[in-house]
Amino acid sequence: MEEEKRVEVHREERQNTGLVGATFIKYAAYIIIFFGILWFLISYVFPMFT
């Protein structure tokens, strides 16, 4: 008689919170740089033409 072996595989569903945080920081940096350039244009470049 053969012995029956049962192997249970537990797979943890991990959320990549590190990846989400890195993506948030990347896009937040893009937005800050965009508004910084926009502020520079409005404050220094635009008054030269008026």
Residue-level pLDDT at 44: 92
Residue-level pLDDT at 3: 75
Residue-level pLDDT at 31: 98
12: its two tokens: 């943890």
Residue-level pLDDT at 14: 66
DSSP category for residue 3:
P
Residue-level pLDDT at 4: 76
Q: Alpha-carbon distance 48 to 3, whole Å?
A: 87
**Closest Cα to residue 39, out of 47, 28, 27, 50?**
47
**Closest Cα to residue 42, out of 16, 17, 50?**
50
Residue-level pLDDT at 6: 81
Q: Which residues of the chain have pLDDT under 50?
A: none
